[in-house]
Amino acid sequence: MFINGVWIQEGSRGTFPVTNPSNGTVVRKVADGGREEANAAIAAAAKAFPDWAAQTAHKRSALLYQAYQVLISRKDQLAELLTLEQGKPLRAATTEVQYAADFLLWFAEEAKRIYGETIPSARPDQRFLVRHEPVGVVAAVTPWNYPISMVTRKLGPALAAGCTVVLKPAEATPLCAIEMVKIFEEVGLPAGVVNLVTGSDPKPIGEEFVTNPLVRKLTFTGSTPVGKMLAGKAAGNMKRVSCELGGHAPFIVCQDADPVHAAKGLQLVKFLNTGQACISPNRIFVHESMVEAFKNTLVERVSKMKAGNGLEQGVSIGPLVNDAAVAKVDAQVQDAIAKGAEIVCGGERLTANGLDRGHFYAPTVLNAIKPAMTIYREETFGPVAAIVPYGDDDDVLAMANDTNYGLAAYVYTQNLSRAMRLYEGLNFGIIGINDINPSGASAPFGGMKNSGIGREGAREGISEYLETKLGGFSI
């Protein structure tokens, strides 16, 4: 842990192991902290806040840019560490480190673009002046599926805005967060500006975050149930909240689309990070006239995917996070089969060639998915492509919107009018039109409904960490 500029090797609960999900080996042990450490970190952040907020935007920008440069220089080492603790293939880990760096660069620039304004008054002797100020101490909770990019996506704008931070990474993946905080320390961020609390039990730390009056903002990425609980408790203490939660993304292949091109895109985004992404397509709506062509191309590509340790050459799909995740995925697959789905490929846990030491599930394709099946309603967070044949555009729009989630959606079509109708009609925060990667540091990321509150990235991302102050001057 890192509190008020001091590294702590052992917490009040001792230490806990971080294991490699591909083989169960212990990568490292880290300090096991709890509410006591969270309280100390919050106090340190509150003490450091006035001086950090008073720094010029150019000073904060320069420090973030230095952190960006150091992060880029360590891309290969950080990618290897990411694969060790999270499991994704090394190539995907390297891409994530670059994505993480992009947020530092973007918000280093945005730090200098926090503009105020003057507003005309109806009174000749009055002037209105508006300025934006940092909200205060930020408590940040990051997930295990993207353990470095989610750190910079939260800390980049918070620090750029002039806030101080207490970071709590997921208990499964604290190592990348530790290395990221070391970079902030190295470039000269003052003691207390960034604090890190690691712990095997997130509950007492989260409780301190949402109840401590010194915390003025909570930013959380994780499951919808946990996000709702934290947001509810934070609201009771009038804290600012932004949450990026679960998804249940539709992937619509329209009648005029190229089914081969669409299948290639689906395979890339569906099995990214072994399906463990909140924007991963869950319900794949394919027009009935092209199901066979789409399915054949998809299966051809999926069957070539090699599962294994992400550091091994040729591995394209890594492990799930733990055994509970494997059990959840398999339960959805078995439920679908029992209710009439066609299993095209996969559909089982992988145990051969040493994979039994990890948490591996075969890349799976199911066809003839119906609304009564669990996979149609619940987020899978695993490597299962569930195809739902459809016949009419109006029907598919209604089916796609028939969910409590609203994070991402995808559309493949060659018709501009159809693309615009679906873009406007889909109730999701992010829509990819013939695009499987509608994301970037310069683009607002976030969802509607049960997928969360607020946006990350873009200019919207920094506004989440700012308060608006009005001055009325009588002259």
Q: Give catalytic residue positions.
A: 244, 278
Q: Which residues pair with 244 in a beta bridge?
A: 221, 452
Q: Within 10 A of 224 (CB to CB), how many other CB atoms are there? A: 21
Closest residue by Cα to residue 52 from 147, 155, 148? 155
Q: Could you give the dihedral angle defined by the CA atoms of residues 397, 402, 403 and 408, in that order, rounded to the nearest 10 degrees?
A: 0
Cα radius of gyration (the chain): 23
Q: Which backbone phi and psi does 312 adopt, to 5 degrees?
A: -85, 145
Extract the tokens encoding 93.
């880990």
- The answer to whether the Cα torsion of 243, 247, 253, 257 is positive or negative is positive
Beta-carbon contacts of residue 463 (< 8 Å; ≥ 6 apart): 132
* CA gap 195, 9 in Å, rounded: 14
Burial category of 220 from C-beta neighbours within 10 Å (exposed 0-12, middle 13-18, buried 19 and up): buried
Closest residue by Cα to residue 457 from 473, 472, 439? 439
Q: Within 10 A of 35 (CB to CB), how many other CB atoms are there? A: 20
* CA gap 139, 96 in Å, rounded: 23
3-state secondary structure of 475: coil
Give the position of tokens 């408790």.
233
* Angle separating helix axes 57-73 and 175-186, nearest 10 degrees: 130
Residue 261 in contact with residue 293, Cβ under 8 Å?
Answer: no
* CA gap 206, 272 in Å, rounded: 29
Residue 368 in contact with residue 288, Cβ under 8 Å?
Answer: no
Give 307-374 as a 3 state SS string: ECCCCCCCCCECCCCCHHHHHHHHHHHHHHHHCCCEEEECCCECCHHHHHHCCCECCEEEECCCCCCH
Q: Could you give the dihedral angle defined by the CA atoms of residues 151, 152, 153 and 159, in that order, rounded to the nearest 10 degrees?
A: 110
